[in-house]
Structures are given as structure tokens and as C-alpha cells.
Amino acid sequence: MEYAFEERCALAHKVHECDIVSTLSNYFSLLYCELKIRRRIEELIALFFILVLVLCLMVLISNVVDSHFSPMLKIIAMKMGMSQYIAGTTLVALGNTLPEALANMMPVRSEAPMYSISISNSLTLILVGGGVICYLKPFKMNPHSTMRDLLYLILSCEVLTFLLLRPKTITPRDGIFPLAIIVFVHSRTDIPPVYHSMFLGLNAGGCLLIMGICAAELEILCCIAGLIVYLSEGFVAVTFRSMAGSIDDTIVVVSLALEGYEQLALGAILGAPIFNILVSMGLAILLQETVRHGTAWFLIGKHGMNCYIFLNVAVISMLFWTLTFNYIARRSAGVFSFLLYLIFIIFAACVEWNVVHEFSKDLHVDPK
């Protein structure tokens, strides 16, 4: 942050975007106006409490998803007679990605590198969540479904990348093209009364409200933490924010796998990135006005193409080891996933500190 401590309070009042993106509190004004932070040591102490608040929000989201939202999705899956894998790729995956989809529709994400965020979240879930499951609970995969969803994940990533890299302004029609939302309708007479669905609706509404508020606060707090330690928003988004966001998803899929629902967990791991890339970004293109004005390069950001390359490496390598291991998830595959994600974090840090160049072209203007 280039401004002196004495100037930051006035800056917080002059920049109107601080009030627009704030939900529960204007943290920038709280730090430098109300608390009157004027020294670096005070700023680092405030950073510690911000990280504690981030941890509390992650625990709250995890508890809401694990205790209320996921059981609701299981009930819906049982009512509809869905298989484990289908329920994972649709209902559980949708539930895991809804906080990000809600955050993409809020003002806090209006000028954020949402492409980088979506791709890095998908990469983190595949490598971290998938790696943990492979390491803790080796199991036999469904060959056809696994291969289909891995290939469809590559297609989803390529479609979104193509739409954003075109030399054209993004339109709402582009948001409809990648938006893939599945509606399931089913009813039976040998289960509790129909009006119980009202309670499912109330439960879903309350969970979505809490997850949306927590997701927005997490976004703001991570941005402020990045400013305090002099890191760019893009780097914080693709590293710390992605790891923070994947914790609740990993907890859900690991708990499902340890309970014997390995196929359900695998479906959620492969389905969530598809929803994240298509639904979350599709809603952002449809509803965020700033996304549809001018070039889409700000959506990709400095680390966007790095995330794109590593996601393709992760998916293609998963295709190879599933074929090599005859679709049996082994512990060695989990270790490989952890190492690949560690390489991604190291490479992102080197790009942030200008040690290496990112996987993108340098923008330049041809002289007349």
C-alpha cells in the first residue's frame, strides 16, 4: 500500500467503492479511521485478527454446509432416486459452488479477476480435495462417468477461455451460453408429506443467505490482508482465497468418502469445477455490468493463464493416471496431486515477485 498511514483514513472516505463493496462493515475505514492505525506493528496486529475472522467465517460456512445444506441435498437425492455419482456431480457440486456463484454476483467482485478465481478454485478442489480422498480412502472409480466428466471439464474451461479471449465485448448472450443449470422435479407418495418440501426451501434459503454473506466478507477480508502484506489481489485470490474456499468443500467430500460414499465424493469433486466455471462465470457475465464493458482482460488478470495451464495439466494427468491405475484411486495419486498443487503455489509466488514470467503475452500498443 503506497499511501502513508496518515492519508489512508481520508482515502477511505474519498473512494466511494469502499462503501459499495462493503457488506457488514467498511473495514478500511474501521482500520485507519476508527482504530486509527498509524504504525506497521499495529497493522500487523490487525492482520492477525483479520486472519482469525477469516478462519471463523470459514468454520461457519463449513458448519452450515456440513450440518444443514449437504443433508438437505442428500434428502433431495434420496427422494429423486439418484445414484451416488449423479447426486455428487449435480446436487453436492451445486451446493459446494453456490457461495462462489453468489459472490460473483455481488459488487465486491465487480472488478475482480473472476476468471482466475474460478479456475484456481477448480484447480484447488481437484488437487487438494481429490488428493485427500485418494490418500485417505482408495476406491474403484466409475470408468465411463469419470472419463466423461474429465473431458467435459476440459471443454468447459476451453469454452470460457475462448469467450473471454475474443477481441469482442462480452454480452449477456455469452453468459447464457456457458450457463448450465439443471432442474430436477420429482414426487412420490410413499414418503413424508409434500409440505415437508417447504422446510427444505426455508433451509436452502437460510443457508444461501448465510453462505452469501460469509463469502462476500471473506472476499473483502482477503483483499485487505493482501494489501497489508503488499500482495496483489490476483495472487491472494488464486492462492490464499482458493485454499480458504476449498476447505469447506474438502471437509464435505472427505466426510462423504469416509462414510462410504466415495462415488458421491468423486462426483462432487468433478462436478463442482464444471458448475464453478460455467454457472458462476455465466451468472457474473449476465448480472455484472462492469464485466460487459470493454475488454475482458481484467477478468483473467496476471495469474489467469497460469491457472488455465495448471488446470489442464491437472485434468490431463488425472486422465492418464486413471487409465494407468485401471480407474482405482491410489494413495500415490493423492501424493502426486499434492506435489502438483505445491508447484502451482511456488510458480504463482515466483510470478508475483517477478522471478519468472507468467504464461501470458505482454500487452503492448503498436506505434502509429
Rg (CA), the chain: 21
Residue 121's nearest CA partner among 284, 264, 293, 240 is: 240
All domains of the chain, ordered by start, with CATH? 60-352 (1.20.1420.30)
Alpha-carbon span 93 to 301, nearest angstrom: 26
* 8 Å CB contact between 190 and 341: no
Alpha-carbon span 250 to 256, nearest angstrom: 10
Q: How far is CA 233 from the centre of its chain?
A: 15
In 79-174, the DSSP E strands lie at: 139-140
pLDDT digits (tens, 9 = 90+) for 67-105: 776 677 667 777 777 777 777 777 777 777 777 777 777
pLDDT reported for residue 182? 37
pLDDT reported for residue 188? 46
Alpha-carbon span 360 to 362, nearest angstrom: 7
Enumerate residues 6+ apart whose C-beta is below 8 A from 19: 26
- How many other C-beta atoms lie within 10 A of the C-beta of residue 39? 9
* 8 Å CB contact between 210 and 60: yes
pLDDT digits (tens, 9 = 90+) for 32-74: 777 777 777 887 888 788 778 877 877 777 777 667 766 776 6
Q: Which residue has the cell 494407468?
A: 324
Residues of the chain with pLDDT under 50: 180-189
pLDDT reported for residue 189? 46
CA 325 vs CA 26, 68, 266, 311: distances in Å: 52, 36, 16, 21
All three cell numbers of 158 = 476451453
Side-chain half-sphere exposure of 232, counting CA atoms within 13 A: 16
Dihedrals phi, psi of 83, to nearest 5 degrees: -75, 165
Is the overall model pTM greater than 0.85, yes or no? no
pLDDT reported for residue 187? 44
Give me the sign of the Cα torsion angle 209, 53, 338, 104: positive
C-alpha torsion angle, residues 159, 165, 167, 170 (rounded to 10):
60
pLDDT reported for residue 36? 77
- How many other C-beta atoms lie within 10 A of the C-beta of residue 57? 18
Alpha-carbon span 124 to 247, nearest angstrom: 10
pLDDT reported for residue 51? 78
Q: What letter does residue 139 receive in the DSSP assignment?
A: E
Antiparallel, parallel or unpaired: β 139-140 and 328-329? antiparallel
Q: What letter does residue 16 receive in the DSSP assignment?
A: T
